[in-house]
Chain A
């Protein structure tokens, strides 16, 4: 067998393997009692497409594999022409003057769409889903982006701060088994600053001793922190209310001027949280282009050189960690008041990995990327939750997120909308330029 033939056969096999995998992933689920049913029915189940096509699932995926294989071959043979056209098309948009106007018009479009969303989508379930699953996650992802994207620290315990923020809100409003501070419950609005301060402190306390660690060890330590918070929130029943969650309902935000009282409903929350998102974006954009943002870049790229010009890496890392923590706590506080109950089972590692996926998918270090990534992924997640296709279970989402993480690392490590600096760093690392060791996430070897 010639190497050429081997490579072709390998490609063929991998296309069929991927098609089979996709068939299983999108197919019906098995169960404890019939663990092979999911597999068999993924291939041998009748399938019809609006009456145009009738057959078995395996036929669909076999066809799909062949079509993709064909396209791939075409792309390999004559793709360079298409690619160069795409390049020149992109360049017309990248022209400096053009860029500014197109950015501005994009912003206007986004603002209009954002204003219209609650009027176009009137199902209250979906509305609140959008607030807690999309908008809150945009804030969460922006916060994690400070830690992962800018400071280059992999934080797998991000959910721990979210939990602390939520519980502080429950505590301040008097919804925990333990009494509110000074036996005086306050409104959920007033709880927000307290939640921010608490989580920021938690971030400093966890960060100061651990941020000296190597990148991969730090990931594990933060993971341990998140798990410890999870165990405590589940089992410290007389403090947190345990697995049953907090009780009674945490009040929604209310707003009083004189005699007028406004209780935030779904639409109210939508605009409020959208406002929070906008504020976070503005603040973080300024932060990115400040000396703090530049110092993070310096540390990520070469910690020794950064130290040699007087930058204290630990201080900046702790700061990034604390900012991330307080953003997570802030999101926790807001969602706690919106949902009304704090359940510990939300606070698993799954949550942290979910937010991490948004940052990676969108583009580490890129504010625009993180927003686009979060809205896309979480938007699809909400859609799937309310309109599940046949065979889809809610927890299948994590399967797709896992696959997404691997694919991003293989094909587009800088993300969907990469930050300029990150893209340069990754390219240079792969070309062996720059300093020995890691520049993707600022870890020294």
Chain B
């Protein structure tokens, strides 16, 4: 896979320089978004040992929340300047808020907490998660329609600068800034705060942490809040560039999960790195893999990884979330 990408670009680079850099830029952008979603998978897995199947619907929730804000305040206008900036910040905030509330107060409370109280075995959670995912996806489909909807654009998405001739637009800048800021914030929260300490303690050994006085329910709630907020922000940003729709979470969800595994599940920085790698690889494969099969590339990477190197690139670091 990687080899065929390298050999393609080593022969075609001279002719397709601009295309190459264009794909690198969009690879980085999608990479940041995958990474932001992957963080949620990795954190929940680190603590509950659960593949949070419904995380893709958390992502979708944020996208819809942002969409509604844009629908309300942008409408048919084309905002600019300060207005644009406020709208975008608002979209991110609303998306993050809606998703984190949905994740921590609906999904976790309804689908996972009762199982946890009963000490249900791990795959019972997974089945509950699949149920939650299907429920949310189809409830959204029922209420908001089942076709993709274009998001009213709060800005002109002008070109900011070029990278070796390839455009780097406001959208790319936005995603990169949002991605970096949220990661730095996350690193600080997990690494330096009291909350982060209890997160790490619970990830390492829930029982001991509980004996040491860590409030397990609260810690798990924060895990879902943080993971949900990042997925929601990413959902809004994703919708801004393509569409929103009830099934929009599935494919990015799988890819974000792939990123999480790629970086070593349970490992926060690894999740971001994995997202970046997957985003770039997927984009660089585009000129010679027809678009219909691009998703197969990600699935194949996922299947291969799980079979041959399930610990990922940086290794599993359960218990050492950061």
* A residues adjacent to B (C-beta < 8 A): 24-25, 29-33, 35, 38-39, 154, 156, 209-210, 213-217, 219-221, 223-225, 227-228, 231-232, 234-235, 349-350, 353, 356-357, 360, 393, 395-396, 398-399, 401-406, 408-410, 413, 426, 429-430, 432, 437-441, 443, 445
Contacts and interface: CB of A to CB of B under 8 A. Distances in A.
B146 interface: yes
24 contacts: A24-B143, A32-B145, A32-B149, A35-B144, A39-B143, A156-B130, A216-B122, A216-B126, A220-B302, A220-B306, A221-B302, A223-B254, A395-B142, A399-B139, A399-B141, A401-B134, A402-B137, A409-B120, A409-B131, A410-B114, A430-B118, A439-B121, A441-B121, A441-B124
B111 interface: yes
Contacts of B155: none
A223 B123 CA distance: 15
Contacts of B182: none
Interface stretch (B30-38, B227-235, B267-275, B290-298): B290-298
B122 A219 contact: no
Contacts of B293: 231, 235
A25 B140 CA distance: 10
Interface of B: 49-51, 68, 110-111, 114-115, 118-128, 130-139, 141-147, 149, 250, 254, 257, 290, 292-293, 295-296, 299-300, 302-303, 306-307, 310
A234 B292 contact: yes
A150 to B, nearest CB: 14
B139 A430 contact: no
B122 A217 contact: no
Contacts of B114: 410
B138 A395 contact: yes
Contacts of A224: 254, 299-300, 302-303
B296 to A, nearest CB: 5
A217 B145 contact: no
Contact of B51 (A33, A219, A227, A410): A219
A225 B135 CA distance: 23
Provide the main secondary structure of the chain B interface. helix
A213 B308 CA distance: 10
B126 A227 contact: no
B146 A395 contact: yes
Q: Which 3 A-B pairs have the closest CB atoms?
A: A405-B131, A402-B134, A402-B135
Contacts of A399: 134-135, 138-139, 141-142
A108 to B, nearest CB: 35
Contacts of A441: 121, 123-124
B121 A32 contact: no
B51 A30 contact: no
A25 B292 contact: no
B145 A225 contact: no
A215 B132 CA distance: 19
B131 A406 contact: yes
Contacts of B149: 32
A33 B144 CA distance: 8
A419 to B, nearest CB: 16
Nearest to A439: B121
A406 B118 contact: no
Given A217-B306, A430-B119, A405 B142 contact: no
Contacts of A30: 142-145
